[in-house]
Amino acid sequence: MADVSAVTVSRALRRPEMVSPALRDRIDAAVRELAYVPDVAASRLASARTHSVGVIVSSLTSGVFAEYLRALHDTLLPAGFQVVVLTSRYSAEEEEKAIATLIGQHPEAIIVAGIDQTPHARRLLQHSGVPVIQTYELTEDPIDINVGLSQRQAGLEATQFLIDLGHTKIAFIAAHLDSRARNRMAGYAHAMEAAGLSIEGRIATVERQSSVATGTALIGSLLDRSADLEAIFCCDDNLALGTLFECQRRGIAVPEQMSIIGFNDLEFAACACPSLSSVATPRYEMGRLSAEILMRIIETGERPANPQIDVGFSLQKRQSTARRSSAGA
């Protein structure tokens, strides 16, 4: 239809800058008219490359992964890579299946959120023959490359922030106790223990999807048992927003009677009323850096000097936290 050779069509689709604008226009018109889609499987066989990167996240509905996935697409797509995203749904078994599925599609690299893969999942990744990056957390024993932050230290500093404000009766709530949540809880417990403060009866967790409704339920159960709570560290911002709503429903003034800090610093945290303090995690930067490292390895073989890269975190101190007043002490 375009009245050119197959080689010219191939060149126009793969390296359009090598074909004149007039030829590109004719070929593009034929592609649209025929609704032509290149045969990716055949292309892979011919080039021995798939130009794809496999990504596994814990959830496709959680806002925690939105900026991270956006960064991967923003960085990889312009470079000619497709991003294939699968979810583990916070299940070790489903993560194993997702890893096996990706490896069967021969990606040029694999990025996985989290560091707590099962022994079988680790073996699959170690023998995949492609670069692997574990993200969101730090580990001293990476499968290949690790780009993340210390969830335990972040939990510790969030709790210490509340302690430094003069609070002594500080609770912790979490949903989906994956390794990230467990490490944040460990940081909370360490900070409380170091300050000589009790955590007995002040932890509430549930094994289900984190949500605003889950936050209201968890803080409600704690308040029903301990009406004298002064502050709460929420394992994520959804729980923090639910906590804020439940405090408002019960007539508990935030932050005058209850300080609240969340985690991840999702967009709504700054827009809540009062605005929510939170631990900001650089998820876009983490995704961008991971993608850039992988592309450098694929194209040049160059690897980072240090296989572990700490992207850090920061405390966003807003209206939901305040110094404990002497009257409320």
Domains of the chain, residue spans: 6-38, 51-149+282-312, 151-280
Position of tokens 């944040």?
184
H-type alpha helices, the chain: 6-14, 21-34, 40-47, 66-76, 92-104, 119-126, 151-164, 179-194, 212-225, 237-249, 267-271, 283-300
Is it true that 51-149+282-312 and 151-280 share their CATH fold? yes
SS3 207: coil
- pLDDT tens for the chain, 329 residues long, are 888 888 888 888 877 888 888 888 898 888 888 887 766 555 554 545 889 999 999 999 999 999 999 999 999 999 999 999 999 999 999 999 999 999 999 999 999 999 999 999 999 999 999 999 999 999 999 999 999 999 999 999 999 999 999 999 999 999 988 999 999 999 999 999 999 999 999 999 999 889 999 999 999 999 999 889 999 999 999 999 999 999 999 999 999 999 999 999 999 999 999 999 999 999 999 999 999 999 999 999 999 999 999 999 999 999 999 999 764 44
Six-digit token string for 226: 């301990």
Residue pair 241/276 in contact (Cβ under 8 Å)? The answer is: yes
Per the structure block, which two tokens stand in for 26? Answer: 């004719």
CATH assignment of 51-149+282-312?
3.40.50.2300
- The CATH code of domain 151-280 reads 3.40.50.2300
According to the model, what pLDDT value does residue 329 have?
44
Give the per-residue pLDDT at 328.
47
pLDDT of residue 15: 75
Helix 237-249 × helix 212-225 angle, to 10° = 50
Instruction: Tell me the β-bridge partners of 232.
Output: 171, 260
C-beta contacts of 37-42 below 8 A and 24+ residues apart: 38/13
